[in-house]
Amino acid sequence: QVQLVESGGGLVQPGGSLRLSCVASGSIFTVYTMGWYRQAPGKERELVATITSGGVLFRGGVTDYAASVKGRFTISRDNDKNTVHLQMNSLKPEDTAVYYCRLRASQDYWGQGTQVTVSS
């Protein structure tokens, strides 16, 4: 079975920064893309950022961002590893949410989520 483990969440003041990490383990033959989603209290889960892993179906390293985080967040991946990061700068209170890692392969896999709270 595939397991995704997120880390790096916490409490930060407005304007601060956090770096989230997600490590995937298990039997994965082909990874299509990895990304970050978030869910704020009382709201639906929404896309934050994705990055393609490369291969026969995708050009590697292609990123996509939600409009609300463009210019502030950066998604990246480690070379030859099923690991993805989300560098979050200039954080705002509205960024407060549980952030989930997603891996798309022949099936979809989700992490358990990590809490990000932006508050003075």
- CA-CA-CA-CA torsion sign (110, 40, 66, 61): negative
Q: What angle do CA 86, 76, 56 make, to 5 degrees?
A: 135
Give the pLDDT confidence score for residue 57 in this predicted structure.
Answer: 66
Q: Which residue is listed with tokens 């383990």?
A: 25
- Contact, 31 vs 82, CB < 8 A? yes
- Contact, 86 vs 36, CB < 8 A? yes
- CA-CA-CA-CA torsion sign (106, 30, 51, 86): positive
Q: What is the pLDDT of residues 46-70, one digit of tens each?
A: 999 999 987 666 678 899 999 999 9
Query: What dihedral angle (degrees, nearest 10) is formed by the CA atoms of 118, 101, 68, 50?
Result: 150
> Taking 80 as the threshold, does the pLDDT of residue 22 lie above it?
yes
Identity of the amino acid at 52: T
Give the pLDDT confidence score for residue 56 in this predicted structure.
Answer: 65
Q: What is the C-alpha separation between 16 and 77, in angstroms, rounded? A: 22
Give the pLDDT confidence score for residue 58 in this predicted structure.
Answer: 65
Burial class of residue 71 in the structure, from the number of CB atoms within 10 Å of its CB (0-12 exposed, 13-18 middle, 19+ buried):
exposed
- Contact, 101 vs 22, CB < 8 A? yes
